Structure 1
Amino acid sequence: MLTYTLVVNGSVYGSQSARNAYLFACALLEKGHQLVSVFFYQDGVNNASNLILPANDEFDLTKAWQALSFQHGIRLESCVAASLRRGVVDDNESKTHGLTSRNVADGFELSGLGGLAEAMLVQDRVVQF
């Protein structure tokens, strides 16, 4: 059994990279590997927004990440700098910047690049999408 961290650079919709990362994560878990964390970076931070509202007949990727995290104890980390640039804000950043609301989806947390650097040192594999 190997430990993995995934890095997702692609937006929640508009490209296949985030969906491919999710499918890869499911396959890893099916094969008995451990997915420790998923780090959302660049446009990938949009996966962490609770304002994503797909049509009823479309796959809800944000909810799928949340369910996977809940079922398997996977950390969902969104790069704080990339998140703020794209309007994805948690309670702490909302207070810091005097905003009236937050929109980070439950189960996701804003994290610095240090979290990714640590994962690269600790996990057996880091796979980027």
Structure 2
Amino acid sequence: MNIGILLKEGPYNHQASDTAFKFAEAAIKKGHKVDAVFLYNDGVTNVTKHMDPPQDDRDIARRWNELGKEHGVEVLACIAASKRRGINDDVIIEGAEITGLGTLTDIAIRNDRLVTFGD
């Protein structure tokens, strides 16, 4: 099964980011393909270089970067949501991309499921 993920919450103020990441890992482990993660609303903050978590905490931006590198998952941030939060190409992690909302429609069309995390 091909899966797209929509993540609408920030990395440390809501469990949605951790849950989305764990879901993606589990799906891949079971043999499914996670095609893309589309970050929307506060979800775009999941891929900023500005995060500097304590040594004993999880590094959510690094997790998304590694998921993309290791499994070919596209990590995409909505341009409108990014602009509203002062996020541009200079402040996102390697492997992530800022793109238009139309890309979310494409993800929904080309995958068997679009799973949403966050309010």
Distance 2:23 2:105 in 1: 21
Moved >3 Å (runs of 4+) = none
Partner Cα separation in structure 1 for residue 109 and residue 50 of structure 2: 33
The answer for the alignment partner of 2:100 in structure 1 is 112
Give the aligned CA root-mean-square deviation in angstroms.
0.6
1:76 alignment partner AA: V
Alpha-carbon distance between aligned partners in 2 of 1:77 and 1:24, rounded to the nearest angstrom: 17
Q: Following the alignment from structure 1 to structure 2, what is the Cα–Cα distance between the partners of residues 39 and 105?
A: 14
Report Cα offsets for 1:90-113 as digits up to 9, x if no partner: 1xxxxxxxxxxx201111100111
Whether 1:126 and 2:114 are equivalent positions in the alignment is yes
Residues 1:49 and 2:48 are matched in the alignment: yes
SS class of match (2:34): strand
CA distance in 2, matches of 1:7, 1:29: 16
Q: TM-score, normalised by structure 2?
A: 0.96
Deviation at 1:119, TM superposition (A): 1.0
SS at match of 1:56: coil
The structure with the larger Rg is 1
Corresponding residue for 2:3?
A: 4
Identity of aligned residues (%): 35
Q: What letter corresponds to residue 24 of structure 1 in structure 2?
A: F
1:33-112 counterparts in 2 under 5 A? 33-90=32-89, 102-112=90-100
CA offsets, 1:10-68, max 9 Å, x none?
10111100110000000000100000000000000001101111110001011011001
